[in-house]
């Protein structure tokens, strides 16, 4: 039997990271969560925290927050991979975004780092509707979004995590790049319709222009860098026809089909997160 590895999971409390932590523990690996809220703390904005988090680690799952496309991400990935090498890390797995040009620069840093590596390029997550910025509109029963014609092959974070665990554990995946998508590409309207059907709630969808959407975020008081990122993700990622393509890499790596959006919608509705109890004072 192989010895367990020491694995740092950066973003280990986040959407994919916490499932990666669970999957690795199930395989009896020694896992350290890399996040500001853990000890030793890991903060992307404070390189002084990196050596402590990397000390003694064999492998690292890298999740950059908020996105590899933001200014500073390239330098951070470069610095972290250099520090990882110094710390004796052998292998890294990078979570990247499908169709993000800026993310590809970060991928190249990892690929040229001299470390063993696997790149996992993900499509938009299903869980953006239940754990991220699309949650509030679903709760409000009114979802106004741009890019109404874009067909998005939403991927489940459970599938991403299973792929990440598999490639961390198996060196046959070293040097490979996987594109992880769901099995079906759907529009926002179709996604909202499926969530409405699963919850039994009325949820309206309204297409808006990208400019109007940005103006809505601005009037809601959201910070300029956040608005820039969301606009970029809609324009760059959803705006390109190649990003609507479905990949079978989840099945190639895991030997099973990727999870469909309808299964996600049904299961998530069952948890009650989209229908919180009304508080009575």
List of residues contacting ligand NAP (CB under 6 A): 11-17, 35-37, 42-45, 63-65, 67-68, 95, 97, 122, 124-125, 128, 132
Residue 200: CB minimum distance to ligand NAP, A: 26
Q: What is the CA radius of gyration of the chain?
A: 19
In angstroms, the CA 108 to CA 137 distance is 36
Residue 267: CB minimum distance to ligand NAP, A: 18
Residue 132: CB minimum distance to ligand NAP, A: 6
Nearer to ligand NAP, 26 or 45 (CB): 45
Residue 251: CB minimum distance to ligand NAP, A: 19
In angstroms, the CA 171 to CA 129 distance is 34
Residue 39 CB: number of other CB atoms within 10 A?
10
Residue 139: CB minimum distance to ligand NAP, A: 18
Nearer to ligand NAP, 3 or 45 (CB): 45
Torsion angles phi and psi, residue 98, rounded to 5: -65, 125
Nearer to ligand NAP, 17 or 274 (CB): 17
Tokens 């050596």 belong to 51
Do 154 and 182 form a contact (C-beta atoms < 8 A)?
yes
Residue with smallest beta-carbon separation from ligand NAP? 14
Of all helices (H) and strands (E), which one includes residue 122? Answer: strand 116-122
Residues with Cβ within 8 Å of residue 171, at least 6 apart in sequence: 91, 116
Nearer to ligand NAP, 133 or 209 (CB): 133
Tokens 């665990």 belong to 165
Residue 58 CB: number of other CB atoms within 10 A?
18
Residue 63: CB minimum distance to ligand NAP, A: 5
Residues in the chain: 281
Nearer to ligand NAP, 132 or 275 (CB): 132
Nearer to ligand NAP, 135 or 210 (CB): 135
Strand, coil or helix: 33: strand
């Amino acid at each position: 039997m192989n010895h367990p590895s020491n694995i740092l999971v950066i973003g280990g409390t986040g959407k994919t990271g916490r499932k990666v932590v669970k999957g690795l523990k199930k395989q009896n690996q020694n896992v350290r969560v890399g996040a500001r809220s853990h000890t030793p703390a890991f903060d992307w904005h404070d390189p002084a925290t990196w050596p402590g988090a990397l000390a003694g680690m064999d492998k690292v799952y890298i999740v950059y927050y908020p996105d590899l496309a933001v200014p500073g991400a390239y330098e951070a990935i470069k610095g972290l991979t250099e520090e990882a090498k110094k710390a004796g890390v052998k292998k890294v797995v990078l979570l990247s975004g499908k169709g993000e040009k800026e993310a590809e620069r970060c991928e190249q840093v990892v690929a040229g780092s001299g470390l063993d590596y696997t790149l996992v390029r993900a499509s938009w997550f299903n869980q953006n509707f239940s754990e991220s910025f699309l949650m509030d509109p679903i709760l409000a029963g009114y979802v106004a979004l741009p890019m109404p014609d874009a067909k998005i092959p939403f991927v489940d974070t459970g599938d991403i995590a299973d792929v990440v665990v598999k490639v961390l554990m198996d060196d046959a995946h070293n040097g490979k790049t996987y594109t992880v998508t769901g099995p079906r590409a759907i529009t926002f309207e179709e996604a909202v319709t499926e969530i409405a059907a699963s919850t039994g709630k009325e949820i309206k969808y309204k297409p808006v222009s990208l400019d109007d959407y940005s103006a809505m975020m601005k009037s809601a008081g959201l910070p300029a860098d956040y608005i820039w990122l969301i606009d970029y993700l809609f324009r760059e990622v959803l705006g390109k026809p190649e990003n609507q393509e479905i990949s079978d890499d989840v099945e190639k790596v895991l030997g099973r089909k990727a999870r469909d959006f309808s299964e996600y919608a049904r299961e998530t509705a069952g948890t009650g997160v989209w229908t919180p109890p009304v508080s009575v004072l």
